[in-house]
Structure 1
Amino acid sequence: MKIKLTSVYVDDQEKALGFYTDVLGFTKKADFSNGPYRWLTVASPDEPEGTELQLALNDNPAAKAYQQAIFKQGQPALMFFTDDVKGDYERIKGRGAGFAMPPTEVTGSTIAQLNDTCGNLVQITQLARW
């Protein structure tokens, strides 16, 4: 088995697409509509055939309550891994992203957290080299 897709709820798909492509550097993978429904995914340019992230419109009241609750608790909705968290922090910050936490050493890794402007906290993690 493989994980090919995971989803994150966003309050504005077009705004989310801009953030995940222009700010984080992901590539748009799929974008098609069927009536009011829009299927929108992005992927890492390092793994274009790897796992896709669906930017799902948060129009479900239960999902919206969940999204708002974990954001309020400071819980990231997503975690991405990198080999250079400080370099990615500077690159992403230079593109206008607002960080809730700059690169911070924690047990076994260095993490940074930012607001995706669409209702979610995103964590960037660099694992420690032993």
Structure 2
Amino acid sequence: MRINITSVFVDDQAKALAFYTDVLGFQKKHDVPVGGARWLTVVSPEHPEGTELLLEPDGHPAVKPYKDALVADGIPAASFAVDDVQAEHRRLTALGVRFTQDPLTMGPVTTAVLDDTCGNLIQLTQAE
């Protein structure tokens, strides 16, 4: 068994696609119209056949309160592994990304948390 697809709820799929590809560096994998939304996934360019991230529309009534509560409590909706959190923090900050937590080392892990502009906090993690 393996994880094939995971998702983050986004308030605007086009904006999310631009952020996750143009800023974070993921690649679009699938973009299929589904009614008024899209089945829209991105993947790591390092693992194009790996786990897909679905940019899921947040139209369900339960989603907004859920997302708002996570953000209010500083809880990331997803975590992405990076080789160097400090370098990613510098790169993304230069691109205008807002971080809610600057790089912080906690034992064998360094993390940082960013705002994805689509209603989510995303954690970057570097294992030592």
Which amino acid counterpart does residue 56 of structure 1 have in structure 2?
E
CA distance in 2, matches of 1:89, 1:121: 14
Write the letter of the residue equivalent to 1:86: Q
Distance 1:34 1:120 in 2: 23
Alpha carbon RMSD of aligned pairs, Å? 0.9
Structure 1 match to 2:50: 50
Matched pairs, number? 128
CA contact (8 A) 1:8 1:53 kept: yes
- The residue aligned with 1:26 is 26
Once the 2 structures are TM-superposed, how far is the Cα of residue 37 of structure 1 from its aligned partner? 2.7
SS at match of 2:67: helix
Secondary structure of residue in 2 paired with 1:102: strand
2:127 maps to which residue? 127
1:60 maps to a residue whose letter is: H
TM-score normalised to structure 2 length:
0.96
Amino acid paired to 1:13: Q
Unaligned segments of structure 1, at least 5 residues: none
Q: Distance in 2 between matches of 1:81 and 1:44?
A: 11
Distance 1:34 1:110 in 2: 38
Structure 1 stretches of 4+ with a deviation exceeding 4 A read none
Give the % identical residues: 52
Cα deviation code 1:101-120 (max 9, x no counterpart): 11111132111110001000
Secondary structure of 2:62's match?
helix
Amino acid at match of 2:16: A
